[in-house]
Amino acid sequence: MMFAADIITLFPELFPGPLGASVLGRGLDDGLWRLRATQLRDFAEDRHRTVDDTPSGGGAGMVLKSDILARAIDAIAPQADPRPRILMSPRGTPLTQHRARQLAEGPGAVLICGRFEGVDQRVIEARNLEEISIGDYVLAGGETAAMVLLEAVVRLIPGVLGALDSRDEESFENGLLEYPQYTRPQMFEGREIPPVLVSGDHGRIAKWRHEQSLALTRARRPDLLRKNDDLP
């Protein structure tokens, strides 16, 4: 089963963008995952290809129309399509490493990139859209957010990354932030690589790295420790 990502957007030319570079791009070229971007305006029925209208009740900006977006979703992901339908939205559930892994283990995803003031609530409900946010801030549209989500997901697909073991100790994989990393030269501007890391004692190295992860997490993300009460 290949991970298949479909993007519904007003700017399909933005894709694959960074998703077509480095290991993600090689995985795309090698057929480890698939990406298709679809122009939302193709589902408009007037000669101006209008996809938005003024918000009911008044207010600034424009809202993406429910009927046009529904037609796009139905054409790309009919009812039998098992892939989750995800709307990138600042009011959505925060994206986590756990959700990224769940998506990577599935058949793919249909990502809807909002624009303007948002999307008509009725299509969110009628098409069971899962709203996901990449942070507590607002972007001009959902395209960049969709790229962030896909990068987090695609790198977890078997074969995309060469060193699979390296993922196990990354930030958030074990509920902690990753420990500091070092490489040669041994001395840089008076700063030395911690001696334990060049000792050859793998037990001491593992202990040091775990202690460093705990210290960094306590200092920077204590909320992660509260979610993992079994951690020391």
Cβ atoms within 10 A of the Cβ of 172, count? Answer: 17
Residue 232 domain flag: no
Judgement on whether residues 34 and 58 belong to the same structural domain of the protein: yes
Judgement on whether residues 71 and 148 belong to the same structural domain of the protein: yes
Judgement on whether residues 109 and 142 belong to the same structural domain of the protein: yes
Judgement on whether residues 108 and 50 belong to the same structural domain of the protein: yes
Q: Report pTM.
A: 0.90
Distances (CA, A) of 57 to 2, 54, 60, 90, 121: 44, 9, 10, 21, 14
| Residue 232, pLDDT score | 54
pLDDT tops 80 at residue 163: no
Judgement on whether residues 121 and 207 belong to the same structural domain of the protein: no
Judgement on whether residues 103 and 210 belong to the same structural domain of the protein: no
Residue 47 domain flag: yes
| Residue 173, pLDDT score | 73
Q: In 214-232, which positions are buried (b, 16+ CB within 10 angstroms) versus exposed (e)? A: bebbeeebeebeeeeeebe
- Compute the distance between CA of residue 213 and CA of residue 89 in angstroms, rounded to an integer: 31
Kindly report, residue by residue over 68-111, the tens digit of the pLDDT.
Answer: 999 999 999 999 999 999 999 999 999 999 999 999 999 999 99
Judgement on whether residues 91 and 203 belong to the same structural domain of the protein: no
> Tokens 């995803």 — which residue?
109
Residue 179 domain flag: yes
First to last CA, the chain: 39
- Compute the distance between CA of residue 106 and CA of residue 125 in angstroms, rounded to an integer: 22
Query: Among 73, 50, 63, 52, which residue's Cα sits nearest to residue 118?
Result: 63
Residue 204 domain flag: yes
Residue 41, CA atoms < 13 Å, CB-side half-sphere: 8
Residue 141 domain flag: yes
| Residue 1, pLDDT score | 82
**Among the three residues 154, 173, 208, which one is the final residue of a domain in this structure?**
154
CATH number of the domain bearing residue 94: 3.40.1280.10
Q: Which domain holds residue 31?
A: 3-154
Number of domains in the chain: 2
Judgement on whether residues 26 and 83 belong to the same structural domain of the protein: yes
Kindly report, residue by residue over 176-218, the tens digit of the pLDDT.
Answer: 999 999 999 999 999 999 999 999 999 999 999 999 999 999 9
| Residue 13, pLDDT score | 98
CB 95 within 8 A of CB 148: yes
Residue 150 domain flag: yes
| Residue 167, pLDDT score | 56
pLDDT tops 90 at residue 24: yes
Q: Regarding predicted confidence, which is higher, 230 or 220? A: 220
Residue 159 domain flag: no
Average pLDDT over the chain, rounded to an integer: 93
Percent of the chain with pLDDT over 90: 88
